[in-house]
Structure 1
Amino acid sequence: MSVRDRFLAAFVALLWGLNFLAVRIGLDHYPPLFLSALRFLVLAVPVVLFVPRPKAPVRWLVLYGMGFGVLQFGLLFIAIDRGMPSGLASVVVQAAAPFTMVLGAALFGERVSRWQVAGIALAVLGMTVIALDRSRTAALLPLLLTVLAAFGWALGNIAGRQARPDHPLRFALWMAVVPPVPLLVLSAVMEGPGTGWRALGASFGGDGWPALVALAYTALAGSVVGSGIWTGLLKRNEAATVAPFSMLVPVVGVAVAWLFLGERLTGWAAVGSAAVVGGVLLGSARVRVRRAAPADRTPPARGGRTGPSAQPSPGPASRVQDTNRS
């Protein structure tokens, strides 16, 4: 992986980490379900007009949009609106990685290695520590909603994997066409049919520009720019080399929340967060093992001597094999 690509991967992690700050700013002006609907609506209109639809089964595109869009963002925005610290949310939502492994194994018989099992266990332990810590000082509902949002992200991952689109970036962009209608219907039912639209109209006033900037950032910088660069990195490099950079996202999310929102992790929350990040890294790591060269089975010569054919092969003494390609 070149120095330029490493810089770009870190830049994408910065863009995605800042998303959580933008969401917090947006929620100060818009209801959560309406904000999540707007996020995708801003993308859906130009996508339908200018982006060719990828070749992929419609059912997987719809499931991707419902899981990644409706469940993940709808529940995540509600959780942050109900009191989930945005920095901590950026950590907990990483549970999508172990959820994806479990769903892949349960639904499609995908093999889960020992290292992946260890990573899942460590991530679950970390989330348990965070839950126990929050139960002493705050309601658990926002945390549970964030975990369910991670599960929705995992469903989207599974759908994207099964779809096998001919153009992954177009597939990711066309996913934005699915969530707006369900989210707007849910917003009308749960938040009031005119609440979000009145908030949108008010944001065009003198003091509403932060909400519009936050909305534009989540839709464009966080999605189009970030996903576009990330897709290019995956085309030029192995996924196992690029994927660990995504673990910078919760680091950025926590740091930004601390700097701009005054959020601070308790000691136990910090320990649990480290366990979640470590579990995701462990589960997605490429584990290399040494495999000894096969021994020559040529029988020894008479007199107990061994001929040249009984010596080890002149090739390398061991081979390196990837046993855990995530």
Structure 2
Amino acid sequence: MSVSTERRGALLVLLLPILVWSYNWIVMKQVLAWIGPFDFSALRFAIGVLVLIALMLVRGESLRPPPLGQVVLIGLAQTAGFQALVQWALVDGAAGRTALLAYTMPFWVVPLAWWLLADRPGPRQWFSLAVAALGLIFVLEPWRGLGGAGSAALAIGGGLCWALGTVLSKRLFQRGGISALSLTTWQMAVGALALVLLALFTHERPIVWSNELVGALAYNAVLASGVAWLLWSWVVERLPANVVGLSSLAVPIAGIAFAWVMLGERPSPAEWIGIALIAAALAIVNLRRPRAS
């Protein structure tokens, strides 16, 4: 398979976690009516780990963990840090706004990849990053006041954690000999353990079990926490970190659309301009350079 064909295949696979995660912002917001943020995070990832372990056994993969020190760092950042912070942010923050702030992740990926991977961004990456940053400014409309500074800081902190986990995963894949399924399973196991401990040591309201809560757990454990993270790791292994990071900006764009339809969070004219700019940034970063004749 040629490099260009593999790249196109990886970009198509990237669409699946983007769709799953964009709708999941609605699910994560609505589920807070029945359960606290840390309890939900712990339950979804604990079940998600069991799903991934079962998948490893079905595929006959070894349950031997990748290098444990790196797995712990990735799990604490990408699973525990990201999920705990963004779920907490959703308690008071709107779903669409929280998704956008969490997806400042690509802005953190660029300097982290430069620092940890010596993956220096080219002019096209810097230009697309600038266009995307301008788009986020229009979406957030800081001239009107952000409001909810606490939830905004939590969401941005979650984006930073995810960026660190993405870059560390890329560095581990570059060493070779590690499958996406193995890394996804083990880093999620570490993150799930941290989230369970967090839930045990915080005093949240009692869980109200309902069909909606069970459905949200199933969606999150199987799709959002299991399948989507597996596909994400597979894509991170095959595409440059900068491309993956910027492509993921499609999630908050779709999240805004879902929040408009499902929660009545209608975008303002400025937000529409921002969405168009972010879409343009995605197109720029994914344009294939013309081959030299």
Say which SS state the counterpart of residue 81 (structure 1) adopts.
Answer: coil
Distance 1:26 1:265 in 2: 23
Map of 1:138 onto structure 2: 147
Give the alignment's TM-score, normalised by structure 2.
Answer: 0.79
Map of 2:38 onto structure 1: 33
Cα distance, 1:81 vs. partner? 1.2
In the alignment, which of 82, 107, 110 is matched to residue 116 of structure 2? 107
Distance 1:9 1:226 in 2: 9
Map of 1:215 onto structure 2: 217
Map of 1:312 onto structure 2: none
Higher helix share: 2
Map of 2:59 onto structure 1: none
Map of 1:81 onto structure 2: 91
Cα distance, 1:91 vs. partner? 3.2
Distance 1:181 1:230 in 2: 21
Query: Is the contact between residue 92 and residue 148 of structure 2 (CA under 8 Å) also seen in structure 1?
Result: no
Map of 2:270 onto structure 1: 268
RMSD: 3.3
Cα distance, 1:12 vs. partner? 4.2
Cα distance, 1:22 vs. partner? 1.3
Cα distance, 1:47 vs. partner? 4.5
Are positions 1:61 and 2:85 aligned together? no
Larger relative contact order, structure 1 or 2 (CA cutoff 8 Å, min sep 6): 2
In the alignment, which of 181, 184, 200 is matched to residue 193 of structure 2? 181
Q: Deviations over 1:184-215 (max 9, x none)?
A: 333344x41xx36x31xx31xxxx11011111
Say which SS state the counterpart of residue 105 (structure 1) adopts.
Answer: helix
Q: Deviations over 1:48-96 (max 9, x none)?
A: 577333552111111111111112111111111122x212333333322
Map of 1:117 onto structure 2: 126
Cα distance, 1:273 vs. partner? 3.9
Say which SS state the counterpart of residue 179 (structure 1) adopts.
Answer: helix
Are positions 1:127 and 2:139 aligned together? no
Query: Is the contact between residue 60 and residue 162 of structure 1 (CA under 8 Å) also seen in structure 2?
Result: no
Give the alignment's TM-score, normalised by structure 1.
Answer: 0.72
Map of 1:97 onto structure 2: 106
Q: Deviations over 1:99-133 (max 9, x none)?
A: 11211112343211112122232333333444443
Q: Which segments of 5 or more consecutive residues in structure 1 lack a partner in the other structure?
A: 291-317, 320-326
Cα distance, 1:5 vs. partner? 8.9
Cα distance, 1:43 vs. partner? 2.0
Query: Is the contact between residue 66 and residue 179 of structure 1 (CA under 8 Å) also seen in structure 2?
Result: yes
Query: Is the contact between residue 53 and residue 185 of structure 2 (CA under 8 Å) also seen in structure 1?
Result: no
Q: Which segments of 5 or more consecutive residues in structure 2 lack a partner in the other structure?
A: 57-61
The 3 A distance-change label for structure 1 pair 102 and 41 is: same
Distance 1:222 1:94 in 2: 16
Map of 2:19 onto structure 1: 14
Cα distance, 1:16 vs. partner? 2.3
Which stretch shifts more, 178-187 or 4-13? 4-13
The 3 A distance-change label for structure 1 pair 233 and 77 is: closer
The 3 A distance-change label for structure 1 pair 134 and 72 is: farther
Say which SS state the counterpart of residue 267 (structure 2) adopts.
Answer: coil
The 3 A distance-change label for structure 1 pair 211 and 55 is: closer
The 3 A distance-change label for structure 1 pair 285 and 47 is: closer
Map of 1:42 onto structure 2: 47
Query: Is the contact between residue 109 and residue 163 of structure 2 (CA under 8 Å) also seen in structure 1?
Result: yes
Say which SS state the counterpart of residue 35 (structure 1) adopts.
Answer: helix
Distance 1:82 1:97 in 2: 24
Give, as a single letter, the amino acid of the residue that structure 1 aligns with 2:169: G
Give, as a single letter, the amino acid of the residue that structure 2 aligns with 1:29: W
Q: Deviations over 1:257-284 (max 9, x none)?
A: 11111111222233334434544554x4
Give, as a single letter, the amino acid of the residue that structure 2 aligns with 1:22: V
Percent identity between the two aligned chains: 22
Distance 1:233 1:147 in 2: 23
The 3 A distance-change label for structure 1 pair 139 and 226 is: closer
